[in-house]
């Protein structure tokens, strides 16, 4: 069973529906025991980093997610959920993340040429940086759907794909059993569904 | 680089997709879920659902259909029509919509844009404007294009963007239904005035109209159309391939 962590941030209807579509057994939950008993974990998120990180901390689910990930349970963070995997974010101040992947989250404005619209919103091509089990059903150059104004930086070791927006932006990361997608696989058509399918099929040892 | 988007628009009334010419004389086309699935399969980059129902019962039916659509297809969905309050945003976002477009609701109460953007994020709020030339001036029309508000369109759109709208759908009433090309003059004026994505609507009649749109106005992000897609006059895979052949960035 896949647990989608429900900590009161954003709308999980499409993510749940996309998991149903690929035939995954899925539960949307804030129950620590259910998350512990799940085979794998999806950490979603939209909105502001500080607000989301606080909500996750208040529920105590941050500790559960970190514990389970460190036990080797496959974890996929999506959009803001991916940004929270990092050590810290500089979105309106400096805020601590879950620290599961080395690196930090900074405004994309600090990286891209002036004149490009922010947020980076729309369909953009994935450029693979090495192989990843997450990409076993898709190919280099496939397009996925992005909506973000901040991106993970100083995390080169973990980057498995970038998207070109005047400069390469971190699109997906992996460190062992911990994965993150800056884009929205649940809004990326069949390519997105195939990424979720690959995550669901990733072997779990926890 | 971000690709240009091709967006079919589905006007929904009493659970069915309809499309009018110049916003009048509506005719039934097809089932929203079936049509949405069809478009997603043939490469539409996003779908717009426009609720043109007036009754509360029709509104419930629309919301149910939206949920069915969002369970079936997994591309961005924008919803418009009958959006007058932040609760209306809530109602459609819960059903899987990603963006909500406001039109007459924002004309009545511009604060709606600010309130919704604050609560759900700027990227969620789309300003849709029906614009027509009156004595050489671009004017904003309300109520599905029937009522001249007297407001000058470019300053209205800029004001909406300042309030937090992160995307503009520009419907030219002058070119809508005429199938003789997008309103390039009107679009250029809007593109010059705002720095958020602009979606061109009204006037698409052929593949070439889209080629002209994106090559003439590189700042336009997307082209939206309804009947030419619904009646198969333009096939989306052919359209996207042709645009890519002309060097326009496309998701193929």
CB–CB of A185/A144 below 8 Å? yes
Question: Which residue range forms the structural domain that includes residue B190?
Answer: 5-245
Q: Pick the closest to residue B22 from B141, B134, B197, B189 (CA basis).
A: B141
Which CATH number belongs to the domain containing residue B17 in this structure? 3.20.20.70
Q: Kindly list the averaged pLDDT for each block of 10 residues, start to end, along chain A of length 206.
A: 90 92 96 97 90 92 97 97 96 94 96 90 96 96 95 96 97 97 97 98 85
Walk across the sheet containing A86-89 and list its strands.
A95-96, A86-89, A101-107, A150-153
Q: Would you place residue B52 in the very low, low, confident or very high pLDDT band (cuts 50, 70, 90)?
A: confident
Of A46, A123, A192, the CB nearest to B251: A123
B3 and chain A in contact, CB less than 8 A: yes
CB–CB of A1/A37 below 8 Å? yes
The interface predicted TM-score of the complex, written ipTM, equals: 0.91
Encoded tokens for B126: 């789309």
Q: Pick the closest to residue B109 from B123, B93, B135, B88 (CA basis).
A: B88
Query: Is A122 close to B2, i.e. CB distance below 8 A?
Result: yes
Tell me, yes or no, whether B251 lies in a domain.
Answer: no
Tell me, yes or no, whether B160 lies in a domain.
Answer: yes
Give dist(CA A38, CA A27) in Å, integer.
9
Q: Which architecture characterizes domain A2-201 according to CATH? A: 3-Layer(aba) Sandwich (3.40)
Tell me, yes or no, whether B135 lies in a domain.
Answer: yes
CB–CB of B53/B92 below 8 Å? no
Encoded tokens for B220: 């336009």
Q: For residue A206, what pLDDT is reported?
A: 67
pTM of the shown model:
0.92
Query: Is A13 close to B67, i.e. CB distance below 8 A?
Result: yes
Q: For residue B22, what pLDDT is reported?
A: 37
Query: Is B94 close to A11, i.e. CB distance below 8 A?
Result: yes
Look at chain B and report how many structural domains it folds into: 1
Q: For residue B60, what pLDDT is reported?
A: 86
Tell me, yes or no, whether B127 lies in a domain.
Answer: yes
Tell me, yes or no, whether B252 lies in a domain.
Answer: no
Tell me, yes or no, whether B78 lies in a domain.
Answer: yes
């Amino acid at each position: 069973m896949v647990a989608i962590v429900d900590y009161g941030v954003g709308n999980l209807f499409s993510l749940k529906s996309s998991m149903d579509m690929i035939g995954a057994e899925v539960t949307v939950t804030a129950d620590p025991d259910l998350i512990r008993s799940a085979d794998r974990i999806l950490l979603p998120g939209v909105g502001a980093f500080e607000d989301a990180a606080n909500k996750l901390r208040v529920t105590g689910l941050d500790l559960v997610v970190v514990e389970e990930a460190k036990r080797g349970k496959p974890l996929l963070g999506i959009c803001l959920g991916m940004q929270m995997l990092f050590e810290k974010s500089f979105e309106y101040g400096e805020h601590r993340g879950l620290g599961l992947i080395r690196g930090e989250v900074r405004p994309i404005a600090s990286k891209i040429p002036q004149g490009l619209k922010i947020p980076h919103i729309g369909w953009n091509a994935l450029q693979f940086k090495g192989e990843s089990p997450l990409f076993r059903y898709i190919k280099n150059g496939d397009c996925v759907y992005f909506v973000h104004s901040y991106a993970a930086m100083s995390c080169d070791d973990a980057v498995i794909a970038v998207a070109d927006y005047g400069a390469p932006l971190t699109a997906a990361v992996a460190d062992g059993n911990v994965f993150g997608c800056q884009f929205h696989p649940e809004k990326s058509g069949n390519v997105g569904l195939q990424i979720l399918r690959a995550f669901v099929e990733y072997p779990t040892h926890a | 680089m971000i690709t240009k988007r091709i967006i079919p628009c589905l006007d929904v009334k009493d659970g069915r997709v309809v499309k009018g010419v110049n916003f009048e004389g509506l005719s039934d086309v097809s089932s929203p879920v079936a049509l949405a699935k069809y478009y997603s399969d043939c490469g539409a980059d996003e779908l717009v659902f426009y609720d043109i129902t007036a009754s509360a019962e029709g509104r419930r039916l629309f919301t149910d259909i939206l949920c069915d659509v969002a369970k079936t297809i997994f591309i961005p969905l924008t919803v418009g029509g009958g959006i007058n309050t932040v609760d209306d945003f809530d109602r459609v976002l819960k059903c899987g919509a990603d963006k909500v477009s406001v039109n007459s609701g924002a004309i009545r109460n511009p604060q709606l844009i600010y309130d919704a953007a604050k609560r759900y994020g700027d990227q969620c709020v789309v300003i849709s404007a029906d614009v027509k030339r009156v004595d050489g001036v671009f004017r904003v029309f309300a109520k599905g294009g029937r009522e001249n508000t007297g407001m000058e369109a470019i300053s209205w759109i800029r004001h909406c963007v300042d309030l937090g709208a992160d995307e503009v759908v520009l419907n030219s009433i002058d070119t809508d239904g005429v199938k003789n090309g997008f309103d390039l003059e009107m679009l250029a004026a809007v593109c010059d005035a705002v720095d958020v994505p602009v979606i061109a609507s009204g006037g698409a009649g052929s593949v070439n109209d889209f080629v002209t749109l994106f090559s003439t106005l590189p700042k336009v992000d997307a082209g939206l159309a309804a009947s030419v897609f619904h009646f198969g006059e333009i096939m989306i895979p052919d359209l996207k391939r042709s645009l890519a052949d002309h060097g326009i960035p496309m998701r193929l």
